[in-house]
Structure 1
Amino acid sequence: MPGLTVKLRSLFFKYHLKQQLQRLSEPQFDRSKSDTFGITSRPEEPLVPANPVFQDGVATKDIHVDPCSALSLRIFLPDSVSGSKNSMADYDAGAVYRGYSPLPMGKRYRKLPVMLQFHGGMFVSGSNESAANDAFCRRMAKLCDVIVVAVGYRLAPESRYPAAFEDGLKVLNWLAKQANLASLRSVRNVDVNGRIYDDFGASTAEPWLAAHGDTSRCVLLGVSSGANIADFVAWKAVEAGKLLDPVKVVARVLLYPFFIGSIPTKSEIKLANSYFYDKALCMLAWKLFLPEKEFNLDHPAANPLSHGRKPSLKYMIPTLMVVAEHDWMRDRAIAYSEELRKVNVDAPVLDYKDAVHEFATLDVLLQTPKAQACAEDIAIWVKKYISLRGHEFSY
């Protein structure tokens, strides 16, 4: 069983979460309306600023990629991009990473896989800039040796379904555009400051991704409700096929996905009052996320095994499922993995004993060794699919 500290923190967490959900259910958040611009964090969310200085081996920066919405990204760049064993030796102590403007032509750039990360929060809270998510993404960037792009999708009820899912797909398409812009790197497509632009001068490439991103090795990682978004984005990537080139989604990791269905599973009955996120609170969140006319626990956004989903499961990319012993959502995630394995998709399950929902991403709060162990286990599996393809350096 979880320790006393976890139990006490769970009680306080649930109390504040209930207050938040009740506030979001008040008349000013009229569910008949939707804010297309939206918000990506709540005032009570503890946020940490981006820091382009390599701190504990990772530099970060925020970018706003859609002028028509609040959609934003935080990029996590590990210092291993220098390609040296002592990476920090390549930069002055405390200096801002010069990748804000790519290195001059002829210099070597170490290419790293790109991981798109979608945070949790039941679609109504959380942020890609929160202290917990920032710490988790830093950990994944270092352990997996990848560039993590954390997606700040729009939250409900201000922007209900399908806003968050559309944001996930928009970022995937944005990544494809970035890869195409980076391929334009030539004398006529680089200005005096090293910025890469298209032939019309309307778009410039994001320099960290242009210099170091290898989009042919793209991984999706979703946490709780973010796992639902990662599931949707994966299906869209499969549907797009070569139309998404040069982006290739090679694997995905779903951490304790926020799945549900009309017919309850054993864990949904037995663990309905589980730690941090119990079923009653999550039901409130689903009512805030799904439009009233579309509210259905077998909605494709909620139940991955609902009838009529296309394409077939057999075309799905390799999927690592992470579940926790004391999480009421565990059975449905396990069932999803079982269905994937039936059609020969690599879909192992990592089941952590004495763990609770979001145990690996609430590490700032819980401070458990399981969080570090989980991140290491994820890195081992992910590296099977992001092993080096072709040349590690581009010129």
Structure 2
Amino acid sequence: MSSTTSPASGVPGEESPPPRIVEDCLGVLQLLSDGTVKRVPPPLVLHQDDAALPDDDEAPVKWKDVVYDEANKLSLRMFVPSAGGGGGRGEKLPVLVFFHGGGFVIGTFAMPGFHAWCLRLAAELPAVVLSADYRLAPEHRLPAAHEDAESVLSWLRVQATTATTDTWLAETADFRRVFVSGDSAGANIAHHATVRVGSGSLPVDPVRVAGCVLLWPYFGGEERTPSEVACPGDAFLTLALYDQMWRIALPVGTTRDHPAANPFGPDSPGLGEGDTVGLPPMLVATGDHDMLVDRIRDYVARLKAAGRQVELVEFAGQAHAFAVFKPDGEDAAELVRVVRRFLHGGGAA
């Protein structure tokens, strides 16, 4: 991503003071006082570095990267089980559109944890998994990421309606069984994309959004919850990191009650009883040691009170993003089983 620098002072013989660090996020993202953004490149899984090459017929899942937004240079990683649907019987598979986490400020689908998690989902659900990148803050503050999610679904709509459909999608994807999903900030993105589809402001037909899967969704709010206040300092997602990421990601001058952060904030679109937003069945999962667990429970309770079909699954002893940090773990395996029942059973687990 490009960086910006401040202009020279314009005073002869006077040097501008060196820029200072305004924000340092996990040592991988620094925002300087002159507007410069510095990023440490993360480890990535690329085609030449992975044994499961896209054209490897022996691999359980084939994958490749596809550009979905030329203007913003944004891609998604497509994962397709090599055997296709129905154990090779030619049946079409559900499509899971997945957005990675990272507090809207870091992350990419090519990071090892996200890549391994999506490989597992594609193989064991089974499903066509479309893991999408999006623009990051502070270079692109919210709602940029939400707009990119809409571009992903619009791209998928084109794939379902034209003769130039990607071959892999044409052969395996059931466009009437599309599920919007994500983890952490990606789950926030999935929520907003699903609301836009449900309100009719984002047309996707003939694509049908059949459900929404939110993994430890990253929502915000000015009022602290008990689990936020009690968060231990040695957790990955701490209150300080949570506040910092929202500060970097939200529009300048706004609070955590901004609609992009708080789905039930004072200016957020109505999701209560009697509103006109049509939501599909929803599955929400988190660990009971997640700092955000109280906020997530409240989100589910409010939707249930409004008559929405939504279920919450909690994993005892697990913290934020546990399946991404340990995609081969047993709790991650159980989460895959829960998601599988939701995708293939037609309802909440």
- TM-score by shorter chain over 0.5: yes
Q: Which aligned pairs between 1:47-196 and structure 2 lie closer than 5 A?
A: 47-49=45-47, 51-52=53-54, 53-54=56-57, 56-81=59-84, 83=86, 85=87, 87=88, 109-181=90-162, 196=163
1:46 aligned to 2:44?
yes
Q: 1:63 to 1:219 in 2, by over 3 A?
A: same
Relative distance call for 1:285 and 1:313 in structure 2 (3 A) is same
Equivalent pairs counted in the alignment come to 316
- Equivalent in the alignment of 1:373: 334
The residue matched to 2:146 in structure 1 has which SS? Answer: helix
Alignment partner, residue 281 of structure 2: 318
Q: Is the 8 A contact 1:29 1:158 kept in 2?
A: no
Cα distance change on mapping 1:212 and 1:124 into 2, 3 Å: same
Q: 1:271 aligns with which of 225, 231, 254?
A: 231
Structure 1 partner of 2:306: 343
CA–CA distance in 1 between the matches of 2:43 and 2:63? 19
Percent of residue pairs bearing the same amino acid type = 32
Structure 2 residue 17 is matched with structure 1 residue 19: no
- CA distance, structure 1, for counterparts of residue 171 and residue 107 of structure 2: 30
Deviation at 1:381, TM superposition (A): 2.2
1:271 maps to amino acid: C
Task: Compute the displacement of 1:328 (Å).
Answer: 1.0
Is the 1:274–1:327 Cα contact (8 Å) retained in structure 2? no
- The answer to whether the Cα contact below 8 Å between 2:59 and 2:82 also exists between their aligned partners in 1 is no
The letter of the residue matching 1:339 is R
Query: Which residue type is aligned with residue 20 of structure 1?
Result: V
Q: CA deviation at 1:242?
A: 9.4
- Report matched runs for 1:288-307 at 5 Å: 288-293=248-253, 295-307=254-266
- Taking the aligned partners of 2:283 and 2:108, their CA distance within structure 1 comes to 23
The ranges of structure 1 where at least 4 consecutive aligned residues each deviate by more than 6 angstroms after the TM superposition are none
The answer to whether residue 176 in structure 2 is matched with residue 216 in structure 1 is yes
Query: Which residue does 1:357 correspond to in 2?
Result: 320
What is the aligned partner in structure 1 of residue 208 from structure 2? 248
Cα distance in structure 2, aligned partners of 1:382 and 1:42: 37
From 147, 165, 171, give the equivalent of 1:205: 165
Instruction: Tell me if the contact between 1:45 and 1:126 (Cα under 8 Å) persists in the aligned partners.
Output: no
Per the TM alignment, residue 42 of structure 1 is displaced from its structure 2 partner at its CA by: 5.6
- Give the deviation of 1:325 after TM superposition: 1.9
Corresponding residue of 1:99: none
Q: What SS does the corresponding residue of 2:83 show, helix, strand or coil?
A: helix
| 242 and 30 in structure 1: CA distance in 2 versus 1, 3 angstrom threshold | closer
How far apart in 1 are the matches of 2:135 and 2:71?
12
Give the Cα–Cα distance (whole angstroms) in 1 for the partners of residues 288 and 90 of structure 2.
43
Find the aligned partners of 1:370 and 1:169 in 2 and give their Cα distance. 31
Matched, 1:384 2:340: no
Report deviation, 1:179.
0.4
Q: How far, CA to CA, are the matches of 1:274 and 1:306 in structure 2?
A: 29
1:300 & 1:28 partners in 2: Cα distance? 29
Q: Is contact 1:114-1:148 (8 Å) kept?
A: yes
Asked if the contact 2:94–2:343 (Cα under 8 Å) also holds between the matched residues in 1, the reply is no
TM-superposition CA deviations, 1:296-343 (whole Å, max 9, x none): 110111111113433534532211111112211111111111111112
Give distance in 1, aligned partners of 2:42 and 2:34. Answer: 18
Give CA deviations for 1:110-153 in whole Å, capped at 9, x if unaligned: 31111100000111111111111111111111222210000011
Say whether residues 1:226 and 2:226 are aligned partners.
Answer: no
User: Contact 1:272–1:280 at 8 Å: present in 2 too?
Assistant: no
- The separation in 2 between residues aligned to 1:206 and 1:171, in whole angstroms, is 14
Aligned Cα RMSD in Å? 2.5
Task: List runs of 5+ in structure 1 lacking aligned partners.
Answer: 1-15, 32-38, 88-107, 182-195, 197-203, 387-395
Q: Give the superposition deviation at 1:216.
A: 0.8
* Structure 2: gaps (5+ residues): 1-23
Evaluate the alpha carbon distance shift between residue 120 and residue 147 of structure 1 in structure 2; reply closer, same or farther with a 3 A threshold: same
Separation in 2, partners of 1:345, 1:358: 25
Structure holding more helix per residue: 1
1:344 CA drift (Å) = 2.2
